[in-house]
Amino acid sequence: MNHPLLARLLILLTLLLGAAPALAKPPACPPSATAPSAEQAQTLAAQAPDRGLLYRLRRDGINSYLYGTLHIGRMEWLFPGPQLRMAMAQTQLLALELDLQDPATLKVLSQPPRQREPLRLSEAERQRLAAQARAACLPEGALAGLHPLLQLSSYTVLQARWDGLDPGFGQEQMLGSWARQQGRSVHALESAELQLLALIPQQTQQARQLLLKGLTQLERGQVRPALRRLAEAWAAGDLATLQDYERWCDCIHDAQDRAELQRLNDGRNPALARGIAALHAQGRPVLAAVGALHLSGEQSLPLLLAQLGFEVERLVPPSDVR
């Protein structure tokens, strides 16, 4: 994968929740996400363990929470465990990287970025993208209005459906729906415009290089193993494996790849930390839910928030568990 997965999954969620055509369902396609029945929901809710990474953030006598999410999931992952339920009950605001249920956000993400030059493809490149659309069981041309890198991101994440992992079961979707049902405010920590500028390089030559790398990885079958491992590490709260993402993701092959990972993950963390701190300073407890990779590394959000004066305690997995 030519970019860190979690940064790009947000775009796919936009496509699935927006006005994209319905997925075709020939026999060769993976199963689509279906909502649990009432009986399934009752059973899964009663049995749900805590998954992912959850931290308590205390400052000025107020407890807020930081939750590391995965933007794809399984049906059972829609149901929060005991500690996350506690954090949901004790907070008044939900902060997400982007609010993908906001029509204005969806409108921005569904259009070509105005500050980036169009990436004009050769016929061979168009055919390679079209082959990935067919492999993802999307009607031909369904995503044609998007920048080619965003099309690539979508086809990359849709690979996970073969392993029972679907963007429709992402935790941010669950949390956003819950917050609105409960009358909680939902705040975006980033703007849709800035996300697009972060995801698409300014230089078309670099964008083309990233596109060709990503297409090659899809064609060679390198994507699904990394998606599976990422999902398994997240579900287990395996911070050590998440910290080691660069070594096993099969997506870092040169200095450009390493710099791009740094820019899209660690490079965004200071602004995310300041956004969380600003919401907390309003005097109402915040539940901030961001991609789990932002909670790993030398510039992780827990470290940055501690530098901003928060007492940071890991709740899931417990701090004495690796």
Q: Is residue 34 part of a domain?
A: no
Assigned domain for 278 exists? yes
Residue 321 lies in a domain: no
State the pLDDT at residue 212.
Answer: 96
Please give the pLDDT value at position 115.
80
Give the chain's residues under pLDDT 70.
Answer: 1-27, 320-322
In a domain? residue 119: yes
- Work out how many domains the chain is built from and give that number: 1
Q: Which domain holds residue 182?
A: 5-19+40-316
CA distance 161 to 65: 30
- Whether residue 32 lies inside any domain: the answer is no
Given this model, what pLDDT does residue 9 score? Answer: 42
Q: Is residue 29 part of a domain?
A: no
In a domain, 98, yes or no: yes
Closest CA to 248 of 233, 260, 259, 270: 233
- In this prediction the pTM is 0.89
The confidence score (pLDDT) of residue 274 equals 98
pLDDT value of position 110? 80
Residue 114 lies in a domain: yes
Look at residue 108 in the predicted model and tell me its pLDDT: 86
Separation of alpha carbons 46 and 79, rounded Å: 9
Dihedral sign from CA coordinates of 58, 59, 65, 69? negative
List all residues 6 or more positions away from 255 whose beta carbon is below 8 Å from its beta carbon: none
What is the edge-to-edge ordering of all strands in the sheet holding 185-188?
A: 185-188, 93-96, 286-291, 62-69, 53-59, 311-316
Amino acid 27: pLDDT: 52
